[in-house]
Amino acid sequence: MDINFEGIILGMGAFLCIGMWHPIVIKAEYYFGTRCWWAFLLVGLGCIAGSLFVSNTYLSVFLGIFAFSALWGIHELFQQKRRVERGWFPKNPNREY
């Protein structure tokens, strides 16, 4: 009986990617608003391209997970704007709304 750690390793990578993007979205909206959405798009597309050309399966899958987490971050960035408008998160006092 073989024990496969691939699923656990990739699951942990997905968990860490999602966990990392959550505070990035919050901080990005706080400091830049939604106008930085294109940076999330560039990161996502760059990681998708990298995932296609990396020969290591683990790195390719991790880049794919990272890419789609970044792309989902665009949606979350606009959702975060709504959360701030509702008062669920603090507004940046140094930024005009």
> Per residue of the chain (97 residues), what is the pLDDT tens digit?
889 899 999 999 999 999 999 999 999 999 999 999 999 999 999 999 999 999 999 999 999 999 999 999 999 999 999 999 999 999 999 888 7
CA-nearest of 58, 74, 75 to 12 is 58
Domain boundaries, the chain: 15-81
Q: Helix 6-32 crosses helix 57-85 at what angle (to 10 degrees)?
A: 40
Rounded CA separation 13/52 (Å): 18
Residue spans of alpha helices (H) in 1-97 = 6-32, 37-53, 57-85
**Model confidence pTM above 0.85:** yes
